[in-house]
Amino acid sequence: MRLEISGIKQGYGKKVIIEDISMTAGSGEVVTILGPNGSGKSTLIKTICNIMEPKEGTISIDGVNIDQMDRREFAKIVGYVPQTGMVFGQSSVYDSVLIGRRPYVEWSYSKEDINIAAEAMIKMKVDDLYDRQVSELSGGQFQRVTLARTLAQSPAFYIFDEPTSSLDLRNQLDTLRIMRAMVKEKGVCMIMAMHDLNLALRFSDKVMVLKDRRVYAFGSAHEVITEKMIRDVYKVDSMIIDGPEGRYIYALDEDAVRTPSGDKDDKEEDAKGT
């Protein structure tokens, strides 16, 4: 399936947050939206998920405008995870994940629904918490439960707003590995807004960068995430280094040495002493 965003303008009241935003995302792709705080990442995510109606422009899936889609059918195609997650009253982890199957339910949950929810809990490593109340969970545990609920929803497009913000380093990597593997195996699409440039560089196929309400760049992760982009958009000098496990970004403080090892300063000191 293919999602197309064309000429989107969005804001709150008279205040424009983003404008002239266009991009495409399709089956088998991980697309990451980057940009500084306040650049409009969450606003764009909410617009893609039909939570906010665009002031201008269109969003379509396989040529059909999302405004024309039945809400239940839309929920089968698009799964949304906000930054703060969604709590459905006083419910257990199991019940919260099973709610992800609601778009498919006619009268009651089927055995297939129950199996899919169980598989989602196992995949996100929350099956041992199945009888816990979601109100008792830590922030990281709750975020993994929210992700499991979206996995149980089985959409064609997973739309995540900061999916790893409450997770520790191990769970960040585990979650993104799981999600990327699922994207490739099942031919679905994941669109996520995030801040971590290194995670974006490692796990994304495409990247869109927002700056000054508009698209600064959109393309492959390695083409878009450059030292120039980081300087222009984030006002930070950096070095992109090719390591044994792939590329990573080394951010520099204004007064920092220009190489991670400090070799440059050492050589300068040696030169002064000779």
pLDDT at 59: 98
pLDDT at 264: 44
Label residue 221 by pLDDT band (50, 70, 90).
very high
Give me the mean pLDDT over the 182-211 stretch. Answer: 96
Closest CA to 32 of 127, 162, 182, 212: 162
pLDDT tens per residue, range 76-115: 999 998 876 665 567 899 999 999 999 998 788 999 999 9
- What is the rounded distance in angstroms from the CA atom of residue 93 to the CA atom of residue 21? 37
Report whether 207 contacts 226 (CB < 8 A): no
pLDDT tens per residue, range 158-186: 999 999 888 899 999 999 999 999 999 99
pLDDT at 191: 98
Give me the mean pLDDT over the 3-9 stretch. Answer: 98
pLDDT tens per residue, range 226-241: 999 999 999 999 999 9
Tokens of 42: 């969450």
The side-by-side arrangement of strands in the sheet containing 206-211 is 78-81, 157-161, 189-193, 30-34, 206-211, 214-220
Helices (H), ranges, 69-211: 71-77, 93-98, 111-123, 139-153, 169-186, 197-203
Q: Could you give the domains of the chain?
A: 2-229 (3.40.50.300), 236-274 (no CATH)
Q: Of the given ranges (56-60, 146-150, 263-267), which has the lowest mean pLDDT?
A: 263-267
In the predicted structure, residue 38 carries a pLDDT above the cut 90:
yes
Q: Of the given ranges (10-19, 119-128, 205-214, 245-254), which has the lowest mean pLDDT?
A: 245-254
